[in-house]
Amino acid sequence: MNPESHAMLLLKKQLKELTKNPVDGFSAGLVDECNIFEWRVSVMGPPETLYEGGFFNCILSFPKDYPNSPPQARFTSDMWHPNVYKDGRVCISILHNPGEDPTGYEDASERWSPVHTVETIMISIISMLSSPNDESAANIDAAKDWRDNREEFKRKVARTVRKSQEEL
């Protein structure tokens, strides 16, 4: 079986499982029924966090050799967070290519592994919302606010939560 066929079967299986047994905190489906490699995910802001009450849309783009390589995750809703680039791309360890980190910051065990599923990816993203990592920031301005001006950070997050509610 070629890698693309394997990826398609695995993604169909994961989508079927999530449809049958939804996971708290997010819902997932295809952007286009004809493309199993592009998923639309709605993330509920985790309870007891600054993102509580928000509904954030995200696109997961899977490579043809999934699960050997990680998908890319990108919020299409506004997101103010140290680990989300200004264009919405999510920067967390499990979405980084497998193997040794060329910068030496992450252990290989923290990076992508073929055992990850859509469920584990989304749980990691939800966890990221609960616990920003300002040491390895994708959005330097958000990280600076998180470290040095928590009230400003809270204000900007509250604005993104309100905007996400208006998009519903």
Give the model's pLDDT for residue 122: 96
Active site amino acids: 91
Strands of the 72-75 sheet, one edge to the other: 26-32, 35-44, 55-61, 72-75
Q: What is d(CA 82, CA 86) in angstroms, rounded to the nearest whole number?
A: 9
- Whole-model pTM? 0.93
Instruction: Answer whether 18's CB lies under 8 Å from 40's CB.
Output: no
Amino acid occupying residue 159: R
Give the model's pLDDT for residue 89: 98
Per-residue pLDDT tens over the stretch 44-74: 999 999 999 999 999 999 999 999 999 999 9
Backbone angles phi, psi at 20, to 5 degrees: -75, -40
What dihedral do alpha carbons 138, 95, 37, 15 form, nearest 10°?
Answer: -120
Q: What is d(CA 158, CA 149) in angstroms, rounded to the nearest whole number?
A: 14
Instruction: Answer whether 118's CB lies under 8 Å from 39's CB.
Output: yes
Print pLDDT tens along the chain (168 aa): 787 899 999 999 999 999 999 999 999 999 999 999 999 999 999 999 999 999 999 999 999 999 999 999 999 999 999 999 999 999 999 999 888 777 778 788 888 999 999 999 999 999 999 999 988 899 999 999 999 999 999 999 999 999 999 987
Pairing of strands 55-61, 35-44: antiparallel
Domain definitions of the chain by residue range: 3-166
Give the model's pLDDT for residue 157: 98
Q: What is d(CA 58, CA 92) in angstroms, rounded to the nearest whole number?
A: 14
Give the model's pLDDT for residue 101: 78
Locus of tokens 């309870």: 47
Q: What is d(CA 161, CA 55) in angstroms, rounded to the nearest whole number?
A: 7
Give the model's pLDDT for residue 112: 93
Give the model's pLDDT for residue 7: 95
The CATH superfamily of 3-166 is Ubiquitin Conjugating Enzyme (3.10.110.10)
